[in-house]
Structure 1
């Protein structure tokens, strides 16, 4: 009969972690430490930022430049139909979770599967600094 030491048991438990890091000595520690797993971020998004320029007549124009491409978890939160200017318009709101990024702001926009969303709010996870949530509305 083989007896295993505590160090051998901890090593075997650590090897079952998806990241195989030393801190994952148990499945509970792995859930706590590795909460922002890459498997949840399965949608590729493009973040656009506004840039100002001048045209040939000297008038100020606003255009969009690519800020970056990120992996994200996109969740449709709500849809709403309203009447504006005697037309029925739909408002689609989504929540987009990306890795922690303090450079994102609500002047930017996001493109997900060829649909453009304006960022309405940016909420950073200031306690653990693992993720940033973007509350967005579809551009109509």
Structure 2
């Protein structure tokens, strides 16, 4: 068997959604710290929705929209940011560099209530 195995590339045709990454309040913009989430960059993304996720907080059951978002790797993004898609904001709770190859990010994000 050959030592180099074939590894198919991710299908970039599935990146059909536009998502915007937001910087948190306190970031310096124009020499002054911001007081609100500010738009940073808009990228193409693939989105998978997982509805019906039950979250238990403060002894209450709330329904939150959970999304799995795939984007091309960018070194300037981090998990302290938020994502905006179709006017709804999402908190990033997991952001992984797929196979540590600096090619793709898989992001798990939860709707901001």
Counterpart of 1:131 in structure 2 is 104
Deviation at 1:89, TM superposition (A): 1.8
TM-score of the pair, normalised by structure 1: 0.62
Work out the number of aligned pairs and report it. 103
More strand by share: 2
Counterpart of 2:30 in structure 1 is none
Deviation at 1:37, TM superposition (A): 3.4
Instruction: For 1:100 and 1:49, locate their aligned partners in 2 and report how far apart those are by CA, in whole Å.
Output: 17
Counterpart of 2:78 in structure 1 is 105
Is the counterpart of residue 69 in structure 1 residue 42 in structure 2? yes
Matches within 5 A, 1:1-140: 32=8, 35-52=9-26, 62-82=35-55, 84=57, 88-140=61-113
Deviations 1:43-98 (A, max 9, x none): 01111011317xxxxxx873111110000001113532356557542122111000
Q: Which has the larger radius of gyration?
A: 1
More helix by share: 1
Deviations 1:8-28 (A, max 9, x none): xxxxxxxxxxxxxxxxxxxxx
Which consecutive unaligned segments of at least 5 residues does structure 2 have? 1-5, 28-32
Rate the CA distance shift 1:85–1:42 in 2: closer, same or farther, 3 A: same
TM-score of the pair, normalised by structure 2: 0.75
Instruction: For 1:83 and 1:129, locate their aligned partners in 2 and report how far apart those are by CA, in whole Å.
Output: 34
- Higher relative contact order structure (alpha carbons within 8 Å, sequence separation ≥ 6): 2
Please list every run of at least 4 consecutive aligned residues from structure 1 whose deviation after the TM superposition is greater than 3 angstroms.
81-88
Instruction: For 1:86 and 1:133, locate their aligned partners in 2 and report how far apart those are by CA, in whole Å.
Output: 30
